[in-house]
């Protein structure tokens, strides 16, 4: 029996137990086991599986039940996939941690079959009581048929990656499943290498359709149906080896029937597959650059019939394209080569979208039931390492995925373990291993990696496969893992962990772009077949508000970008689980059973890391447990061994009691390291201990039940007098009970008779009473009717009098109403002329167009009135360069980019302006609280009768002259003016340098945009140190001058910071300890001295309404004061509330702290200017823009002034043209290299780059002459938006020709937020 067969006696099922671990010893051990039918061998955490290329009796029901029943299958039973699955399932329940099984190996090593076996065990052992496990198993024939094909190395090779997660409840019952797929090989659909085949399902469906279906689809009769389709790559039907297929057509339809969401879609799926096969037969007359014309119209008709669209429109969409030339639309015929590409793109799109749909429907049928899912077990069945005679982008991505998994294997088996050894002070000697970190970086490194350079090359109009190959050769010529192919300019070689692979870059760019004609997409979306429509419908993104959708970005996203994202997510998921490894290897390259090639096996054992893992395991200790976990888990198993002991002493005592030799473990500082098999033996002993306790409990229960049965039997055997006595006793009790029941029945009958008599008496009395009441009511009714008639007559007489008086009054009221209406009409006309709302905005476009576009991108006209300038700028934006307008078969206009192959249904800049609007709105929302807070204290957004918070401008100062005493000096002509002393107290500026110890949660202060301290957190760094105070302005940190930057954008977290601050104090204030350490500064001429004072203000609520009459922002700063409200004259815009009624706010909101009493005492911090005479003495000129407009007159006029003030600062959008005659021409502009820092500074966005920003422009350069200035934000280059700094720099540096840049002034964007006056532009 397989579950008892440990293999030949002279072999070891655990490689680490071999006496010798030389290459020869390892190979001989594995070979002997392989030839004896033992294809599985263990090496620590790794199970080695050798592909037998034949059926073996290793997976019987008896074998499965044996592994299922075993308490420790890793110890008690031979190595097996079932043992790995059992270990994962029991480990999940034991440690409450999700598990994953990584199945890896080269193509043809048996990974897919291994995954199926693993899935069968998990479905059986965790049966959910429903048909869920059946549905999970039936996904195998479906996914293999649609995703596997015959290759040079494998008859059933997976051409996609799969990560299947089985979801479990806390009790270990399967609740659902989810499948994630990666990178289906699309190119195989339209072309295969010699000796290879297309996907299995194409052959299965073509052969297995019923007679009625064959007639419907127009298939030829007989066995020649398969060989009649070019995509199947067959010379004759006999070339197909049906035995190698995962299932036949009948089994496939049965699998579809088990999946509820696919059962009724079978006919539609077969129809799409037949359309794919017919498209492969579509050919054109002519060749190369000739105009494309369909050779056989019947083929187009067949495809159109299967896809339920019009034949003429399908042919036109493939052979022609409608584009705009000037103001006219022209129809341009496609060349034969281009039409073939269009046809192939449709073929691949149909199949790949059908594949994605099937995966989606499978997931729907497997989704978890209820909310009990706690953990999962994931099985990674990803495409194996490949090396074909010709290797393209698909092979590069497949091999890169294997490199990532190999890196994870190295990390799990070697790096993390060695790091743990070093940390715990364990010496295990010199352990070496192969690390593929350099190769992973070569492929995936940002900016310079092969995949990054490929994505970059797709942006360039003149980018080709040859230029891409040349670029990577220049970038990586000296890389140890990269080599050029001297005889082929478009080829390059990479040294992967299994060996060297030569890649042919021809077709890399086109495959990454993966273009699909928008004409064909629209045609499919208008199909009469709902299933075809579903395949091509656009995925609806999250709506912004109501029915407004987010637009598709014009930024190019290639095939590899999505693949890299998915692969990184997979690795991240696996890193969060406990991993198990199954390494699949193939014994030969010919797919022959019982054939052993020693060189092939030795290469795989080395490159997969198995040899190194065996050596590391022999030298090291694979299982590592913290002291507490070992003691808590096993101290009951080894009784009295470690009682009352803890830490290292307890661990040593426990292992000694368990008879574990000292050579098999090491005790570190906090953890114990166990040798091979020690943990398995302890676990086995623990399970045996638990089983013995369970048996003891069963003994007690069975004994109790046996005693109960014994007593019953003893009573039955007794019989005789005892039995008669019991019967007599029961008879007497029955007679007594009957007598009592009869007496009770008689008493009940008497009571019922008495109750009936009472009821009859009550009815007689109630009848007499009702007769008397009817007579009385009749007489009263007659009297009431007579009185009502008299009253009605009197009322009619009185009504006649009132009617006359009302007529007179109505005539007078109508006359007055007409007079008031006339006055209102005249007032409205006057106000409309004087106060035109939209005229205040100075829009360049029609208001109706602006409002329409604003709603189109998702604006709320009422709430976002202050952002309507974005819509105005958008309507003025020039047409993007590089995009063509085209006409789809249904008359719709779309945009097409020839360089990247992208198609958009909306204007290419719509996405940018929608994102720009969302960023600006988010910034405003962060600065102003929404309306409607309790008591009217809430702030309001610009444009809604509210004022922006006061701006704390940086103070520019220098050192005082000796002996000046703080006096301001005003110079006359040529600097010969006399010194003028200012009488009375003056404001002085001081500079203080201090050292601050940083706490774990930061500095504990709140700052304005100009780094002025307006909030101190109790217990924070600043509050504890006591040097810094309210109103201090931080000007430098750690020898870095802040300038116009915010502290958070400059400071680098460290234990101690050196800060320089400036603060203002009156000359009459007594000296303080910190003033003695500070330096006095001289202010610039004309600068208004300002300081922050703390003032106590007593305010009262308005009678009747209870409102306070001011608005605040999220930082408790007053942004609005009602001039007619109860606090007018007491509070000012810009005041910051520090405390209310003696309670300090600190980081609490005012509206959450203030009570509802009539009076409140506020402590406020006010930014206070010096005496006007002092300011005048310094030559300060009052600026109109610096005035604080706090008055609120009518709601309309103040709103208009506020919105007008914002519209004056709107960013200027413009187009800049640069012309480079050669690629050596210098532009003269420097871009910021760190996107995130400047995106945070300008847009308050972190982690996702918004736009490239110009840092410097050389005088007299092309950039300056074209109108570029520092701070400009580049929105798009030649119509391509969403580019990063690196991409823009590379395009401008390496390209030549005309570059059309759409830019927006970033400085003005920032001034919109800070309120600073815009600096003059050149």
> Residue range 1199-1221: average pLDDT?
52
Q: Flag the least confident range among 550-564, 623-637, 1171-1185.
A: 1171-1185
DSSP state of 516: -
Which of 422-436, 944-958, 1028-1042 ranks highest by mean pLDDT?
A: 1028-1042
Least-confidence region, from 388-392, 996-1000, 1026-1030, 1197-1201? 1197-1201
Averaged over 746-770, what is the pLDDT?
82
Helix, coil or strand: residue 366: helix
Specify the range with the lowest mean pLDDT, choosing from 48-52, 744-748, 878-882, 913-917.
878-882
Say how far apart CA 1179 and CA 968 lie, in whole Å.
10
User: 8-22, 309-323, 336-350: which range is least confident on average?
Assistant: 8-22
Mean pLDDT of the region 906-920: 82
Report the alpha-carbon distance of residue 118 to residue 98 in Å, rounded.
16
Range picked from 351-355, 758-762, 780-784, 830-834 for highest mean pLDDT: 351-355
DSSP-derived pairing of the beta strands 46-50 and 40-43: antiparallel
Please report which confidence band the pLDDT of residue 234 belongs to, taking 50, 70 and 90 as the band edges: confident
Phi, psi for 675 (deg, rounded to 5): -75, 180
Q: Which residue has the higher pLDDT, 129 or 997?
A: 997
pLDDT band, very low/low/confident/very high, at 1068 (cuts 50, 70, 90): low
Q: What is the mean pLDDT of residues 1254-1263?
A: 85
Strands (E), 892-1039: 893-897, 902-904, 957-959, 987-997, 1005-1007, 1013-1016, 1033-1037
What are the distances in angstroms from CA 456 to CA 228, 1019, 1032? Answer: 42, 51, 48
Specify whether the CB–CB gap between 183 and 228 falls below 8 A: no
Given a cut of 50, is residue 459 above it in pLDDT? yes
Tokens 């500026």 -> residue: 989
Residue 1064 and residue 1069: Cα distance in Å, rounded?
Answer: 11
Does the pLDDT value for residue 1246 go beyond 50?
A: no
pLDDT band of 142, cuts 50, 70, 90:
very high
Res. 553: pLDDT tops 80: no
| Position 1033 pLDDT exceeds 80 | yes
3-state secondary structure of 669: coil
> Which is higher by pLDDT, 1259 or 620?
1259
532 token code pair: 């075809």
The three-class DSSP label of residue 830 is helix
Chain segment 285-296, per-residue pLDDT in tens: 877 777 889 998
Task: Give me the pLDDT at residue 847, please.
Answer: 81
Task: Determine how many CB atoms are found less than 10 A away from the CB of residue 1092.
Answer: 21
- CA torsion, points 587, 589, 591, 595, in degrees to nearest 10? -40
pLDDT band at 790 (very low <50, low <70, confident <90, very high): confident
* 498 pLDDT higher than 90: no
**Lowest-confidence segment of 623-627, 754-758, 1069-1073 by average pLDDT:** 1069-1073
pLDDT at position 793 is: 79
Task: Say if residues 182 and 163 touch (Cβ distance below 8 Å).
Answer: yes
Whether the CB-CB separation of 180 and 186 falls below 8 Å is answered with no
Provide the H-helix boundaries in 1208-1261: 1235-1243
Strands 893-897 and 40-43: unpaired
pLDDT of residue 547: 52
Q: 205: which 2 tokens?
A: 């469906």
CA distances from 1004 to 653, 1009, 1021, 1092, 1146 (A): 50, 16, 6, 19, 10
Residue 1303 φ/ψ, nearest 5 degrees: -125, 155
Quick one: pLDDT at residue 1115?
A: 67
Beta strands 320-325; 1213-1220: pairing state: unpaired
Q: What angle do CA 342, 345, 350 make, to 5 degrees?
A: 130
Between the CA of residue 643 and those of 487, 624, 660, 684, what are the distances in Å? 74, 22, 18, 21
**Pairwise pLDDT comparison (318 vs 1315), residue with the higher score:** 318
DSSP reduced 3-state for 1005: strand
Taking the alpha carbons at both ends of the chain, their separation in whole angstroms is: 90
Task: Look up tokens 């009322």; give the residue.
Answer: 795
* Pairwise CA distance, residues 1101 & 889, whole Å: 68
Can you name the residues that pair with 623 across neighbouring β-strands?
674
Taking 90 as the threshold, does the pLDDT of residue 145 lie above it?
yes
Helices (H), 449-558: 450-457, 465-475, 508-513, 518-525, 530-536
Question: What is the mean predicted confidence (pLDDT) over 712-736?
Answer: 73
Within 10 angstroms of residue 153's Cβ, the number of other Cβ atoms is 19
* Cβ neighbours of residue 161 closer than 8 Å, sequence gap 6 or more: 181, 182, 183, 380, 381, 382, 383, 401
Q: How far apart are the C-alpha atoms of 211 and 215, rounded to whole Å?
A: 6
Alpha carbon distances (Å) from 143 to 139, 199, 268, 754: 6, 11, 17, 84
Query: DSSP for 1024-1045?
Result: HH----TT-EEEEETTEE-TTS
CA distance 181 to 356: 9
Q: Provide the 3-class DSSP secondary structure of residue 330.
A: strand
SS3 assignment for 30-81: HHHHHHCCCCEEEECCEEEEECCCCCCCCCCHHHHHHHHHCCCHHHHCCCCH
Residue pointed to by tokens 């009581």: 129
Q: How many CB atoms lie within 10 A of CB 966?
A: 14
Classify each residue of 710-741 as buried b or exposed e, where b means 16 or more C-beta atoms within 10 Å of its C-beta: eeeeeeeeeeeeeeeeeeeeeeeeeeeeeeee
Burial, 695: exposed, middle or buried (Cβ in 10 Å; 0-12, 13-18, 19+)? exposed
Q: How confident is the model at residue 639 (pLDDT cuts 50, 70, 90)?
A: low
User: What are the residues whose beta carbons fall under 8 Å from the beta carbon of 1158, sequence distance 6 or more?
Assistant: 1100, 1101
- Pair of tokens at residue 987: 């404001």
**What's the confidence (pLDDT) of residue 1088?**
47
DSSP code of 385?
A: B
When the pLDDT of each residue in the chain is averaged and rounded to a whole number, the result is 77
**8 Å CB contact between 396 and 562:** no
- Given CA atoms 485, 487, 491, 496 in this order, what sign does their dihedral have? negative
Flag whether pLDDT at 938 surpasses 50: no
Sequence-separated (6 or more) residues with CB below 8 Å from residue 1127? 1099, 1108, 1109, 1110, 1121
| 3-state SS assignment for residue 319 | helix
Q: Which two tokens stand for residue 43?
A: 């090496």
Percentage, residues of the chain above pLDDT 70: 80
Residue 252, pLDDT score: 93
Give the per-residue pLDDT at 608: 73
Residue 327 clears pLDDT 80, i.e. is over it = no
Q: What is the pLDDT of residue 689?
A: 78
pLDDT tens-digit map of 187-231: 899 988 888 899 999 999 988 888 888 888 877 665 556 778 889
The 10s digit of each residue's pLDDT in 590-599 is 888 889 998 8
Among the residue ranges 253-267, 371-385, 661-675, 1180-1194, the one predicted with the least confidence is 1180-1194
pLDDT at residue 978 in the model? 37
Residue 531 has pLDDT above 90, yes or no: yes
């Amino acid at each position: 029996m397989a579950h008892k067969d440990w293999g030949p006696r002279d072999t070891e099922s655990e490689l680490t137990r071999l006496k010798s671990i030389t290459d020869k010893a390892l190979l001989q051990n594995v070979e002997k086991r392989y030839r004896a039918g033992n294809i599985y061998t263990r090496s620590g955490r790794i199970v080695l599986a050798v592909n037998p290329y034949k059926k073996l009796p290793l997976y019987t029901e008896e074998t499965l039940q044996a592994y299922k029943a075993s308490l420790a299958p890793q110890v008690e039973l031979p190595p097996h996939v079932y043992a790995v699955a059992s270990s994962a399932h029991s480990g999940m329940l034991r440690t409450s941690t999700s598990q994953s099984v990584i199945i890896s190996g080269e193509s043809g090593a048996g990974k897919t079959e291994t995954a199926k076996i693993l899935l069968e065990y998990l479905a059986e052992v965790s049966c959910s009581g429903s048909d869920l496990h059946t549905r999970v198993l039936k996904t195998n024939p479906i996914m293999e048929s649609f995703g596997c094909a015959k290759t040079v190395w494998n008859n059933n090779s997976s051409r996609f990656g799969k990560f299947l997660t089985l979801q479990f409840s806390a009790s270990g019952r399967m609740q659902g499943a989810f499948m994630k797929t990666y990178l289906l090989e699309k190119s195989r659909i339209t072309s295969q290498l010699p000796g290879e085949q297309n996907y299995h399902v194409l052959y299965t469906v073509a052969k297995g359709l019923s007679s009625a279906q064959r007639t419907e689809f127009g298939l030829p009769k007989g066995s020649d149906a398969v060989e009649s389709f070019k995509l199947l790559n067959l010379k004759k039907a006999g070339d197909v080896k049906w035995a190698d297929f995962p299932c036949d057509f009948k089994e496939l339809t049965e699998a579809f029937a088990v999946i509820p969401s696919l059962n009724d879609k079978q006919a539609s799926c077969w129809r799409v597959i037949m359309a794919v096969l017919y498209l492969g037969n579509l050919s054109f007359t002519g060749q190369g650059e000739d105009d494309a014309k369909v050779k056989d119209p019947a083929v187009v008709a067949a495809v159109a019939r299967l896809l339920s669209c019009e034949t003429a429109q399908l042919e036109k969409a493939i052979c022609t394209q409608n584009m705009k030339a000037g103001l006219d639309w022209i129809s341009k015929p496609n060349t034969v080569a281009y039409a073939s590409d269009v046809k192939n793109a449709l073929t691949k799109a149909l199949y790949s979208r059908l594949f994605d749909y099937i995966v989606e429907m499978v997931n729907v049928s497997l989704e978890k039931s209820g909310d009990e899912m706690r953990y999962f077990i994931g099985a990674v069945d990803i495409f194996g390492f490949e090396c074909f005679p010709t290797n393209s982008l698909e092979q590069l991505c497949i091999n890169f995925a294997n490199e990532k998994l190999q890196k994870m294997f190295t990390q799990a088996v070697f790096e993390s373990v060695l790091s743990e050894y070093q940390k715990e002070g364990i010496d295990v000697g010199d352990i070496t291993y192969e690390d593929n970190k350099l190769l992973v970086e070569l492929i995936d490194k940002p900016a310079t990696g092969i995949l990054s350079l490929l994505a970059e090359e797709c942006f360039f109009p003149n980018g080709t496969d040859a230029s891409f190959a040349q670029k990577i050769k220049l970038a990586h010529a000296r890389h140890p893992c990269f080599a050029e192919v001297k005889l082929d300019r478009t080829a390059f070689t990479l040294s992967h962990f299994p060996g060297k692979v030569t890649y042919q870059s021809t077709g890399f760019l086109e495959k990454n772009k993966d273009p699909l004609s928008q004409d064909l997409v629209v045609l499919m979306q208008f199909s009469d077949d709902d299933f075809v429509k579903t395949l091509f419908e656009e995925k609806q993104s999250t709506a912004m508000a109501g029915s407004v959708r987010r637009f598709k970005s014009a930024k190019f996203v290639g095939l590899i970008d999505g693949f890299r994202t998915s692969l990184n997510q997979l690795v991240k998921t696996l890193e969060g689980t406990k991993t198990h490894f199954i390494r699949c290897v193939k014994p030969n390259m010919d797919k022959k059973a019982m054939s052993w090639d020693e060189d092939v096996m030795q290469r795989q054992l080395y490159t997969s890391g198995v040899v190194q893992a065996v050596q590391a395991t022999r030298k090291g200790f694979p299982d590592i447990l913290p002291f507490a976990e070992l003691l808590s888990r096993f101290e009951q198993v080894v009784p009295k061994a470690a009682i009352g002991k803890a830490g290292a002493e307890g661990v040593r005592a426990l292992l000694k009691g368990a008879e574990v030799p000292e050579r098999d473990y090491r005790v570190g500082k906090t953890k114990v390291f166990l040798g091979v098999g020690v943990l398995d033996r302890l676990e086995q002993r623990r399970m045996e201990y638990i089983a013995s306790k369970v048996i003891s409990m069963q003994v007690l229960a069975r004994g109790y039940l046996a005693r109960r049965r014994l007593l019953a039997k003893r009573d039955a055997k007794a019989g005789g007098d005892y039995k008669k006595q019991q019967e007599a006793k029961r008879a007497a009790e029955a007679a007594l009970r009957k007598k009592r029941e009869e007496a009770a029945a008689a008493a009940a009958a008497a009571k019922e008779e008495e109750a009936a008599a009472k009821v009859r008496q009550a009815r007689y009395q109630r009848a007499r009473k009702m007769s008397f009441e009817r007579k009385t009511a009749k007489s009263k009714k007659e009297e009431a009717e007579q009185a009502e008639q008299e009253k009605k007559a009197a009322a009619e007489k009185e009504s006649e009098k009132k009617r006359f008086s009302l007529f007179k009054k109505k005539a007078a009221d109508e006359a007055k109403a007409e007079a008031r209406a006339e006055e209102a009409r005249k007032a409205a006309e006057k106000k409309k002329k004087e106060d035109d709302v939209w005229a205040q905005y100075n829009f360049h476009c029609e208001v109706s167009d602006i409002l329409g576009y604003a709603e189109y991108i998702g604006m709320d006209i009422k709430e976002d009135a202050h952002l309507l300038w974005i819509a105005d700028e958008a309507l003025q934006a020039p047409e993007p360069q590089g995009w063509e307008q085209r006409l789809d078969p249904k008359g719709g206009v779309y945009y097409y980019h020839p360089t990247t192959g992208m198609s958009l249904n909306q204007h290419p800049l719509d996405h940018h302006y929608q994102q720009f609007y969302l960023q600006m709105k988010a910034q405003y929302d962060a600065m102003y609280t929404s309306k409607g807070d309790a008591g009217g204290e809430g702030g309001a957004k610009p444009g809604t009768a509210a004022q922006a918070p006061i701006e704390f401008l940086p103070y520019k100062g220098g050192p005082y002259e000796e002996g000046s005493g703080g006096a301001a000096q005003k110079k006359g002509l040529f600097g010969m003016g006399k010194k003028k002393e200012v009488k009375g107290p003056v404001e002085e500026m001081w500079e203080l340098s201090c050292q601050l110890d940083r706490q774990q949660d930061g500095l504990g202060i709140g700052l304005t945009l100009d780094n002025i301290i307006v909030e101190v957190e109790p217990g924070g760094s600043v509050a504890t140190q006591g040097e810094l105070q309210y109103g201090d302005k931080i000007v430098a940190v750690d020898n870095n001058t802040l300038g116009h930057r915010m502290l958070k954008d400059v400071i680098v977290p460290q234990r101690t910071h050196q800060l320089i601050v400036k603060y203002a104090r009156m000359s009459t204030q007594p000296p303080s300890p910190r003033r003695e350490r500070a330096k006095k500064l001289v202010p610039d001429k004309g600068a208004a001295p300002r300081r922050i004072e703390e003032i106590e203000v007593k305010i009262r609520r308005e009678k009747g309404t209870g409102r306070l009459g001011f608005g605040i922002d999220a930082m408790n700063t007053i942004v609005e004061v009602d001039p007619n409200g109860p606090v007018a004259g007491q509070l000012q815009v810009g005041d910051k509330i520090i405390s209310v009624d003696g309670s300090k706010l600190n980081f609490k909101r005012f509206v959450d702290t203030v009570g509802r009493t009539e009076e409140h005492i506020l402590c406020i911090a006010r930014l206070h200017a010096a005496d006007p005479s002092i300011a005048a003495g310094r030559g300060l000129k009052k600026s109109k823009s610096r005035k604080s407009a706090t008055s609120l007159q009518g709601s309309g006029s103040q709103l208009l002034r506020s919105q007008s003030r914002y519209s004056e600062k709107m960013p200027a959008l413009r187009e800049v043209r640069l012309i480079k005659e050669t690629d050596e021409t210098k532009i003269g502009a420097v871009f910021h290299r760190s996107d995130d820092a400047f995106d945070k500074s300008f847009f308050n966005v972190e982690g996702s780059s918004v736009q490239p920003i110009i840092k410097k422009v050389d005088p007299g350069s092309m950039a300056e002459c074209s109108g570029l200035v520092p701070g400009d934000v580049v929105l798009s280059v030649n119509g391509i938006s969403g580019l990063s700094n690196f991409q823009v720099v590379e395009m401008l540096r390496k390209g030549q020709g005309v570059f059309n840049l759409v830019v927006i002034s970033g400085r003005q964007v920032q001034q919109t937020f800070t309120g600073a006056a815009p600096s003059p532009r050149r």
